[in-house]
């Protein structure tokens, strides 16, 4: 009975945590990097101390939101990389998957990836930029793993894959950030430009014989 009760309590706590994250998402969609703990607590219909009880501080809430959105983004990137098309099309689809995600929810992107450099940070001591680097590193490692599994790069394959993975993520982040701010041309054009930049050794390397191909 005690085990069942603990399981029910755990489920209830997880459900409450999801509800609070959804409330935080709504505030972030409205306010971007300016989203405050006070506004999020008000959106959720609770007090700030209760919000702190669930997440500790804004850093804890940020990390929970980051996991939520990064998981969804990585799932989209993996699906694009596994699409049954030729390699060039998969590269373009993968780039577009990332860029479409930040275009669809620019305020969430800015909250997760931008330093608080525009006077938006309303919680003293919290710098969004300091927390964004682990997200980029995680994406770089995930992409490196995909490359290792799908492309035959020879004896130095793992080293190259990690270099490329982090380099491609850095490129997508920097180019996407610039494009989102200025919108100098349509997203599809940016995708083609970036794919052209990548279309060097990646285009000529063979698929791994023991992998799903790329």
12-44 tens-digit pLDDT:
778 888 888 899 889 888 887 778 888 888 998
What the block records as the tokens of 48 is 């700030």
- Taking the CA atoms of 122, 128, 130 and 131 in sequence, report the sign of the dihedral they define: positive
Assign 115 a pLDDT band (cuts: 50, 70, 90): very low
- 179 belongs to a structural domain: yes
The CATH number of whichever domain residue 164 belongs to comes to 1.10.357.10
Domain assignment of residue 140, yes or no: yes
3-state secondary structure (DSSP) of residue 151: strand
Give the pair of three-digit tokens for residue 2: 């005690």
In a domain, 84, yes or no: yes
DSSP label at residue 123:
S
What is residue 188's predicted lDDT score, i.e. its pLDDT? 96
* Residue at 57 is within a domain: no
Predicted local confidence at residue 74, as pLDDT: 82
Whether residue 163 is contained in a domain is answered as yes
With beta carbons less than 8 A apart as the criterion, state whether 98 and 179 touch.
no
DSSP state letter for 1: -
Looking at the structure of the chain, the number of domains it has is 1
pLDDT (tens digit per residue) in 168-182: 999 999 999 999 999
- For 70-96, write each residue's pLDDT tens digit: 888 888 888 887 788 888 898 899 899
Taking only Cα atoms into account, the Rg of the chain, rounded to an integer number of angstroms, comes to 20
Rounded CA-CA distance 186/141 in Å is 29
Express as a percent the part of the chain with pLDDT over 70: 85
Q: What is the mean pLDDT of residues 130-158?
A: 82
Residue 195: band (very low, low, confident or very high) from pLDDT cuts 50, 70, 90: very high
Whether residue 135 has pLDDT greater than 60: yes
Q: Which of 182, 184, 214 is nearest to 198 (CA)?
A: 214
Residue 56 maps to a domain: no
- Whole-angstrom distance, CA of residue 98 vs CA of residue 77: 7
**pTM (predicted TM-score):** 0.75
Q: What pLDDT score was predicted for residue 125?
A: 46
Domain residues for the domain of 198 are 64-204
Point out the least confidently predicted range of 16-20, 64-68, 127-131. 127-131
Q: Angle, nearest 10°, between helix axes 87-104 and 187-198?
A: 140
37 assigned to some structural domain:
no
Whole-Å CA distances, 81 to 87, 91, 151, 190, 202: 9, 7, 12, 18, 14
* pLDDT at residue 1 tops 60: no
> Do residues 20 and 51 lie in contact, with contact meaning Cβ atoms separated by under 8 Å?
yes
Q: In this model, does residue 127 exceed pLDDT 60?
A: no
| Residue 34 covered by a domain | no
Does the CA dihedral 185-137-20-38 come out positive or negative? Answer: negative
Choose among 80, 109, 95, 104: nearest CA to 168.
95
Counting every residue written for the chain, the total comes to: 214
Instruction: Measure the CA angle with vertex 13, ends 73 and 107; round to 5°.
Output: 35
Is pLDDT at 198 greater than 70 in this prediction? yes
DSSP state of 86: -
């Amino acid at each position: 009975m005690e085990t069942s009760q603990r399981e029910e309590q755990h489920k209830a706590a997880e459900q409450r945590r999801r509800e609070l994250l959804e409330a935080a998402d709504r505030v972030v969609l409205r306010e971007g990097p300016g989203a405050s703990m006070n506004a999020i607590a008000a959106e959720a219909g609770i007090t700030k101390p209760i919000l702190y009880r669930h997440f500790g501080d804004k850093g804890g809430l940020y990390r929970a939101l980051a996991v939520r959105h990064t998981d969804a983004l990585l799932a989209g990137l993996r699906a694009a990389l596994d699409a049954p098309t030729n390699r060039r099309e998969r590269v373009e689809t993968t780039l577009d998957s990332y860029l479409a995600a930040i275009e669809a929810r620019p305020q969430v992107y800015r909250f997760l990836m931008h330093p608080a450099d525009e006077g938006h940070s309303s919680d003293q001591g919290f710098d969004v930029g300091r927390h964004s680097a682990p997200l980029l590193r995680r994406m770089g490692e995930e992409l490196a793993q995909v490359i290792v599994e799908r492309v035959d790069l020879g004896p130095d394959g793992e080293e190259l894959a990690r270099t490329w993975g982090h380099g491609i993520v850095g490129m997508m982040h920097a180019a996407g950030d610039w494009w989102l701010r200025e919108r100098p041309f349509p997203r599809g054009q940016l995708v083609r430009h970036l794919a052209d930049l990548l279309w060097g050794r990646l285009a000529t390397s063979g698929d791994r014989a023991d992998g799903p191909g790329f």
